[in-house]
Amino acid sequence: MRLLLAAALVVLSTSSEAAEVIPDWVKNGPLEEIVVTTHVPASLVDLTAGSDLIVEANVLAQRGFLDRDGTSIFTDYRIGVTHVLKVRDVHVDPTLTVRRRGGAVPIAGGSVVSSENGFPAFQIGDHYVLFLRKSPQPGVYEIVSGRYGATRIIDGAVTSTAPLKELVERVQLGVQPAPAAQAAR
């Protein structure tokens, strides 16, 4: 579902309706799009199991763009990997591209800003633990379970009370074989 705000005009559309091209929206002035998404809360075990790669990383750069149809805005974030917590069948470069829905795009002298509800855009310089899966596009990753798969680190803590070290240990324990599987080896 999309909620579009243009000047004093409010338009509500769903994905089942004919897609309108974003450059056409800007004709009436600046525009803000709020993408309403529903991500089921995921446990640490589910996030870990669903990830091809779990990293601690810094946001280095960002680039917003329109998709091929001109109906959605995405942002590619360039991230610098500082620590690999889990890797499964992927090559890990020191910098990676993470694609998210939303962003800012200048169009025809106007601008369009798109944001995902409950999942603020990454800011350059911010530090995260990211639960990632390979995207269908080569060299691009997506975040597992939306906002639940991106945890911002502030002053060495993933929340006001949980230190980063604790999250790292829990992720690493979560990817170890179960005690019964270890005994069978």
Listed by start position, the domains of the chain span 2-176
Digit-coded pLDDT (tens) for 120-177: 899 999 999 999 999 999 999 999 998 889 999 988 887 655 667 777 887 877 654 4
Backbone angles phi, psi at 118, to 5 degrees: 75, 5
Beta bridge partners of 101: 74
Q: What is the pLDDT of residue 28?
A: 66
CATH code of 2-176, in short, is 2.40.50.120
pLDDT at residue 25, as a whole number: 67
pLDDT tens for 92-104 read 999 999 999 999 9
User: Residue 72 and residue 64: Cα distance in Å, rounded?
Assistant: 11
pLDDT value of residue 158: 79
pLDDT in tens, 46-83: 899 999 999 999 999 999 999 998 888 999 999 999 99
Q: Give the residue with greater pLDDT, 15 vs 30.
A: 30
pLDDT score for 159: 64
Please report the pLDDT score of residue 131 as a whole number. Answer: 95
- pTM exceeds 0.85, yes or no: no
Look-up of token digits 């005690």: 179
Cα–Cα dist 31/114, whole Å? 8
Helices (H), the chain: 22-25, 44-49, 164-174, 179-184
Structure confidence at residue 165 (pLDDT): 78
